[in-house]
Amino acid sequence: MVRGMNPAELDAILQQTLADHKLSGSEKQALSAYVQKFVTTDVHRGTARARAFEIARDAASNDEARRVLTWLEDVVKVLTPVVGGPVPQAGSEAFFSPGEACLGQIVHRFSAARRTVDVCVFTITDDRVTRSLLEAHRRGVAIRLITDNEKAFDLGSDIERITVAGVPVKVDRTPFHMHHKFAIFDEARLLNGSYNWTRGAAESNEENLIDSADPKLLTAFRRHFDQLWDKL
């Protein structure tokens, strides 16, 4: 979840309302109170909505129901797009941690992705990032992931979970580190910076993340990703 949100409380409320497949008056009040307290930005709203769809999809009894939920989520995103989000569709913006601004932007980009995402990161241990990545994968977004062998199988690493889900993954097995932290979304947005995709980076580290639509940067990072992908 992004900064200011309480993911455990949101999950508890959503799971309780899902138990009998009804949103009672008291449950609606509890959810409204949570929204008023924690859901204060467009990124918050998008993240909370994505979590509701994820919980519903996990509870769906068959593949057809899951496909219907995926369709509904995509329709809702088109009908109610993020307005006044943290990054315009042109230009660049910087985000910093500690705090969850970087995390929120990564989740936002995965939520907005429609066609392709190429990820090249040293490690992924933040389940919130992994959930957003896998949600995009389930929507049919073509995702490729490059990571480093030293961290890929660490305790807490989500690489195996991502691989098992069917996302193509390549691991650098040289004696040196594949230490990049960048991702390209729909060939149109680049996320790049020191920010590791870990919970510690959000909670403790001094990190940075840049979201850019600069064509020269996109071309350079695209070329480098393809070179690494072909080499590994």
Active-site annotation, residues: 179, 181, 186
Contacts of 45 (CB under 8 A, 6+ apart): 39, 82
The helix/strand/coil state of 11 is helix
Query: Hey, what are 109's tokens?
Result: 């980009």
Q: What angle do CA 175, 181, 185 make, to 5 degrees?
A: 130
Q: Which residues pair with 148 in a beta bridge?
A: 172
Here the contacts of 10-14 (C-beta below 8 Å, separation 24 or greater) are 10/34, 10/38, 10/48, 10/51, 11/51, 11/55, 14/51, 14/52, 14/55
**Sheet containing 92-97: order of strands:** 92-97, 207-212, 189-192, 181-185, 116-121, 142-148, 169-172
Query: Hey, what are 74's tokens?
Result: 């995509």
Contact 39, 48 (CB under 8 A): yes
Contact 190, 211 (CB under 8 A): yes
From the list 191, 63, 212, the residue with the least C-alpha distance to 132 is 191
